[in-house]
Structure 1
Amino acid sequence: MKPIYITDLDHTFLHTDLSISPFSIEAWNTKAQDAFMSVATARSFTKAKELLSQLQINTPMILLDGSIIITPEQEIIDIKTIGKILGDAIVEVGMAHEIDPFIIGMKDSNINESFLYPRKLNDYQRDVLKGYKDDPRMQFNPDNRTMEQNLKIVYFGYEKQLRPLYEALKNIFGNEIEAKLSPEKYGGGWFLTLLHPEGDKAHALKKVMEYLERDPSDVTVFGDSVNDIGMFRLAGTSIAVSNALDEVKNVADIVLPHSNDEDAVAQYLSGL
């Protein structure tokens, strides 16, 4: 029976500069000859396709934190979105806390996304936005209105502002949303991600296993951050890289001695 490997990208498989080493490419593509290989990432289809162009992906990808599951041939397996009414209500709470969000939603039925950014930006949001300077998906959203199909709503900032917002959103919307608050280890700030309640990596992993007609206990997953924890608890084998957050290491079956910049995932794959 073919083994199954699914990895997070940022700070897990990718180097911090978003590159993939020749060693990682070779280790991945060699393993893909006799294993199911895929990713579970906060990245969109457009960006994941660009970053992973040299890798053989032969299994549905979990994208945008689990909001969308799609095959390498662009067949949508599942999609979970926040509707406009709920999305606008979430944004109103954020505005009451004096912070505006980035919003990623479906632009059309061809898996094209729109990335909406607000008029009011804090310093951390400005830094994030610099990385999307020439991204054709970017769209100015001065009124902070959401789309008909919102894949995720994301707030970037600092903990002292985002934690009260996180608590308020959980109190107001309860199980209508999935809310994840986490530090961004490399940028010094925090991010708060709002998803459909079944739009996280754990639910998405179940769907992928159903698609493969396999049990979640058959899969090995790799990760580093809070959005990987649900997936770690579900998978048969969960592996944290050395630079993972402590709360991720605490639920991992294996903690690797290498970091993402030391090709941790590839080191593990090539040693099997």
Structure 2
Amino acid sequence: MSENKKLIFLDVDATLYNKEQRAVPESAIRAIHKAQEKGNKVFINTGRPLVYFEKEILDIGVDGYLCSNGVHLIVDGKTIYHKIVPESVVEKIKQICETYHIYGTFEGEKCSYFRDHNVDFHPHYGFMITAFDLAPYMNHEFSWDHVKDPDKVILFGGPGSDMSGFVNALSTISDTMDYIRIEDTQYEVLLKNHDKGTGLKYIADYFHASTDDCYAFGDSNNDISMFQAAGHGIAMGNACDELKNIADHVTTSVNDDGIYRGFEYYDLI
């Protein structure tokens, strides 16, 4: 890559995608296309697996997808890196969830496996279930009976859950898996030594680019590793304080043209 070309990495939920309206702001799509016309490359860097992208996100035409927090990397339609959770670990996680009354989703390239269809158990669990209900083309099952080749797991506490017992139990799989606390009742469990930051570095190396030329946009604490890896971390106006505190710049919210204004601020368009 020539020196003046940049790599841009975008989280999805509450960064690129307005969760309330279930839509990508038109200004964000315009910013992405203008950045690409300038020679920059734009990637989605998300906790979502490949199967969990609404058509309007796929239709934007980004240059690649970093899925499942750095576990599955795709550039120009080609997988360049992919790891999955071992079957024995999948069974152990199921046991932990049953013991501590935890619900969630095993997320993979080809299918998302929800424990059940309880939209009221946890707000984000319900949000995800509804997303799949609204987009049947995104392959999914509301059962853990046939979980196959997941990239990661997203788990939720709700009524009757023992969160402290659950978190302690995660230590029994700590040789294989790490976890990120999104909030007290929401955790992402993923393969060790993988996160949004490792994914970003892998892509930078792939393009022989410096991380100084990498720009990361996010809103949640699972974006911290991406900000730490990138030369420039841009927090959305709606981001959590933990992320804003380490950001190089805070743009406006996802609902207020935050992507477009952030691209403008850094002369990416």
TM-score where L is the length of structure 2:
0.85
The whole-number CA distance in structure 1 between the counterparts of 2:86 and 2:256 is 41
1:24 aligns with 2:44: no
1:202 aligns with 2:197: yes
1:156-235 maps to which residues of 2 (within 5 A)? 156-158=156-158, 161=161, 163-183=163-183, 190-235=185-230
CA RMSD of aligned residues (A): 2.4
CA 1:157–1:38 in 2, change beyond 3 Å: closer, same or farther?
A: same
Extract unaligned runs of 5+ from structure 2.
Answer: none
Which segment drifts farther, 96-105 or 234-243? 96-105
Which segment drifts farther, 126-135 or 210-219? 126-135
The whole-number CA distance in structure 1 between the counterparts of 2:59 and 2:116 is 37
- Residues 211-237 of structure 1 show CA distances to partners (whole Å, capped at 9, x for unaligned) of 111122220111011110011111111
Partner residue of 1:251?
A: 246
What code does the residue aligned with 1:51 have?
A: E
1:32–1:56 Cα contact (<8 Å) kept: no
What code does the residue aligned with 1:105 have?
A: G
Of 3, 6, 10 in structure 1, the residue corresponding to residue 6 of structure 2 is: 3
1:5–1:221 Cα contact (<8 Å) kept: yes
The whole-number CA distance in structure 1 between the counterparts of 2:103 and 2:261 is 40
Structure 2 counterpart SS, 1:132: helix
The whole-number CA distance in structure 2 between the counterparts of 1:20 and 1:209 is 26
- Residues 31-66 of structure 1 show CA distances to partners (whole Å, capped at 9, x for unaligned) of 1112121110122324436232443422x3211222
2:101–2:157 Cα contact (<8 Å) kept: no
Identity %: 20
Structure 1 counterpart SS, 2:22: coil
CA 1:127–1:232 in 2, change beyond 3 Å: closer, same or farther?
A: closer
What code does the residue aligned with 1:130 have?
A: T
2:215–2:231 Cα contact (<8 Å) kept: yes
Partner residue of 2:41?
A: 36
The whole-number CA distance in structure 2 between the counterparts of 1:195 and 1:12 is 21
Total equivalences in the alignment: 256
The whole-number CA distance in structure 2 between the counterparts of 1:263 and 1:162 is 39
Of 60, 69, 75 in structure 2, the residue corresponding to residue 71 of structure 1 is: 75
The whole-number CA distance in structure 2 between the counterparts of 1:231 and 1:166 is 26
2:121–2:158 Cα contact (<8 Å) kept: no
Structure 2 counterpart SS, 1:96: helix
The whole-number CA distance in structure 1 between the counterparts of 2:152 and 2:115 is 15
CA 1:50–1:252 in 2, change beyond 3 Å: closer, same or farther?
A: same
Q: Per-residue deviation at 1:157?
A: 3.0
Which segment drifts farther, 15-24 or 245-254? 15-24
1:123 aligns with 2:121: yes
The whole-number CA distance in structure 1 between the counterparts of 2:27 and 2:46 is 21
Which segment drifts farther, 234-243 or 9-18? 9-18
Extract unaligned runs of 5+ from structure 1.
Answer: 107-112, 184-188
1:88–1:146 Cα contact (<8 Å) kept: no
Partner residue of 2:141?
A: 139
The whole-number CA distance in structure 1 between the counterparts of 2:152 and 2:162 is 16
Q: Per-residue deviation at 1:263?
A: 1.4
